[in-house]
Amino acid sequence: MKRIIVCLKQAVDVTQLKVDPATSQLLTASAPKKISDFDKNALEEAIRIKEKNGETEIFTVTVCSEDAKPVLREALAMGADKAYFVNDHTLQNVDTWATAYVLAEAIKKIGSFDLVLCGEASLDSFSGLVGSRLAELLDLPQINSVRKISVEADVVTAERTLEDAYETVKSKMPALITVTREINQPRIPSLMMIMKASKKEIVTWTVADLNIQKEKIDAKNEVIEVLAPKTERKKIMITGENTKEIAEKLAKALFQEGIIRR
């Protein structure tokens, strides 16, 4: 029996995020939450590996100060077998260091595994550090930015996209892989799968359950300001009797801006 651990973040749905126009502050507290997109790709990939290779169990691990159970139910409905949820109010201002540290301790408590899958970055903070930090803390080989995975015996082969090349990388398992969004299209669970998921287990732990010393998860970074950038665009709509007139008006405007030359 193989075991795949998928790290899932409950992220702010950035497409539904509102900004307070007076202060330029983001209204993150009231924004809807969901499984971070890239992490969903990681989960989908784990399910596909299970479908192909059989004899695999998929556990998800989530670290969050708020309730994330509805989001974890969705992961279970997609096909995860069990969800581990480190839920503790002390995790409110965690940074990538602390998140990775708690994830690592949770994974150690779960026990053995063959593969850890993470999204390349999270939808909201988009740091892209936690996967690599976790690999370091668990002393695992890591393959980043992966768009294709195949598993055979105790070896994983992964294709990754670099700035100027595709690379095929092999590693012995256990290993940690971060995936890009192009790796797959995550499934939408059927009603049947959603019903079945209600019987699956969500194991909830606190930081104390993991025997983590408090000072170990003090944040190493501190966010001192988050502000929406001021974008001042002209928002001039160009209209006209016909396409030709519109095009000529637009061409004239672009010339007057002094931004085009032959």
d(CA 72, CA 94): 20
Q: Is 259 in the site for another protein (CB under 8 A)?
A: yes
If the CB atoms of residues 50 and 133 are measured against another protein, the closer one turns out to be 133
- What are 197's two structure tokens? 């998921």
Indicate the helix (H) or strand (E) that contains 33.
strand 33-35
Q: Of 4 and 123, which has the nearer Cβ to another protein?
A: 123
Buried b (16+ CB within 10 A) or exposed e, 180-218: bbebbebeebeeeeeeebeebebebbebeebebeeeebe
Asked if 260 touches another protein (CB under 8 A), the answer is: yes
Interface with another protein includes 22 (CB under 8 A)?
Answer: no
Does position 192 interact with another protein (CB under 8 A)? The reply is no
* Span interacting with another protein, options 43-51, 67-75, 82-90, 171-179, rule CB under 8 A: 171-179
Which among 64, 138, 142 is positioned nearest to 101, based on CA atoms?
138
Q: Which of residues 75-134 bind another protein (CB under 8 A)?
A: 95-97, 100, 121, 123-133
Span 26-45, contacts to another protein by CB under 8 A? 26, 28
Give me 147's structure tokens: 């768009």
Stated as kind and residue range, the H or E segment containing 209 is none
Q: Which residues within the stretch 221-240 sit at the binding site for another protein (CB under 8 A)? A: 221-229, 231, 233-239
Residue where the block lists tokens 């994974």: 107
Mask for 128-167, x = binds another protein (CB under 8 A): xxxxxx-xxx--xxxxxx-----------x--xxxxxxxx
Output 148 or 200, the one with its CB closest to another protein. Answer: 148
